[in-house]
């Protein structure tokens, strides 16, 4: 189960926060991004397997379903990869704009820019004097490059986004390759998909300090509901 603030020493939170923060600097994809890609891939596949009529489907229909699920996730994986690159470039451009704006603005405007750029949780504890000190430090730094070019880190993140969506295709589809019994394959497929949804939620809980078991069960339930909604809406 998860940890409650009263049951866990503050040192545990400090060490966990340091570990997570340092890992974020090394990863092309943050845990929530990885989680989102896997969940998206699973839901897309479940939309295909859930719409399969096992009573009327033969090997040809099953094969068509598998090809459609794989090609759909490959396409969306490529789209996610391109969007990751664009988002990264725009994010760097935005940070550069904020930096240059702080250096060029008057004192009150620079302070307002600093406070607006800080995360909400940090901004709540940052007064004007601290913001002015941050402005002074930024203005003392050398002029940075705009950093709007494509980087190796962008490529790693794009490839990671694409691979996660594509790899999520396989657990729910493998049973259809191993047995000719479509009913049995569908039951095993659904079980593997629910298990994958649970594991994805459990892993996210471990990475973020939330309750892993609770989040795992919640994701299995929410994922099943989203699949049902996707099928109903014709997805």
CA distance to 46, 67, 176, 181, 190, per residue, from 170 (Å): 11, 11, 10, 18, 12
In a domain, 143, yes or no: yes
**Spatial contact of 186 and 46, defined as CB atoms under 8 Å apart:** no
In a domain, 4, yes or no: no
Q: pLDDT tens digit string along 135-160?
A: 898 888 887 665 667 788 888 888 98
Structure tokens at 72: 């759909």
Distances (CA, A) of 18 to 13, 24, 154, 208: 8, 10, 24, 12
Classify residue 3: in a domain, yes or no: no
Q: Closest Cα partner for 185 from 193, 168, 173?
A: 173
**pLDDT higher at 130 or 225:** 130
Whether residue 92 contacts residue 120, with contact meaning beta carbons closer than 8 Å, is answered with no
33 touches 156 (CB < 8 A): no
pLDDT tens-digit readout, 173-207:
888 888 888 778 888 888 888 888 888 888 888 87
pLDDT per residue as tens digits for the range 162-178: 888 888 888 888 888 88
What's 56's DSSP letter? T
Residue 98 lies in a domain: yes
**What value does the mean pLDDT of the chain take?**
78
The reply to whether 173 falls in a domain is: yes
Q: What is the dihedral of CA 11, 13, 18, 19, to 10 degrees?
A: 110
> Is the per-residue pLDDT at 57 higher than 80?
no
Q: Annotate 29-47 with DSSP letters as a single string.
A: S-HHHHHHHHHHHHHHHHH
pLDDT surpasses 70 at 14: no
What region, left, alpha or beta, does residue 229 occupy, with left being phi > 0 and alpha being psi -120 to 50 degrees? alpha
Q: What is the model's pTM?
A: 0.69
Enumerate long-range contacts of 5-13, CB under 8 Å, 24 or more apart.
13/209
Contact 2, 212 (CB under 8 A): yes
pLDDT-derived band at 21 (thresholds 50, 70, 90) equals very low
Q: Is position 145 within any domain?
A: yes
3-state secondary structure (DSSP) of residue 181: coil
Distance CA 168, CA 160 (A): 12
Residue with tokens 């601290």: 130
Total domains present in the chain: 1
31 in a domain, yes or no? no
Which residues make Cβ contacts (< 8 Å) with residue 159, sequence separation at least 6? 81
Rounded Cα–Cα distance for residues 194 and 227 (Å): 11
Give the structural domain span for 147.
Answer: 36-232
Question: Which of 105, 99, 81 has the alpha carbon at shortest distance from 148?
Answer: 99
Higher-confidence residue of 20 and 164: namely: 164
Query: Is residue 207 situated within a structural domain?
Result: yes
């Amino acid at each position: 189960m998860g940890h409650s603030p009263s049951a866990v020493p503050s040192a545990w939170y400090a060490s966990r926060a340091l570990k997570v923060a340092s890992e974020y600097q090394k990863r092309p994809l943050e845990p929530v991004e990885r989680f989102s890609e896997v969940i998206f891939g699973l839901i897309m596949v479940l939309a295909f397997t859930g719409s399969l009529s096992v009573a009327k489907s033969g090997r040809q229909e099953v094969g068509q379903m598998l090809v459609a699920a794989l090609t759909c996730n490959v396409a969306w994986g490529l789209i996610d990869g391109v969007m990751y690159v664009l988002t990264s470039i725009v994010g760097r451009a935005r940070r550069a704009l904020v930096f240059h704006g702080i250096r060029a603005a008057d004192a009150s405007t620079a302070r307002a820019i600093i406070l607006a750029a800080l995360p909400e949780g940090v901004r709540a504890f940052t007064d004007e004097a601290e913001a002015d000190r941050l402005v002074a430090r930024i203005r003392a730094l050398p002029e940075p490059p705009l950093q709007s070019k494509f980087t190796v880190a962008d490529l790693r993140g794009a490839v990671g986004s694409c691979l996660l969506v594509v790899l999520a295709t396989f657990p729910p589809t493998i049973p259809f390759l191993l047995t000719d019994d479509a009913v049995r394959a569908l039951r095993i497929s659904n079980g593997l998909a629910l298990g994958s949804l649970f594991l994805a939620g459990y892993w996210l809980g471990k990475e973020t300090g939330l309750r892993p078991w609770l989040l795992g069960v919640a994701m299995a339930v929410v994922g099943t509901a989203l699949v049902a909604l996707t099928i109903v809406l014709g997805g």
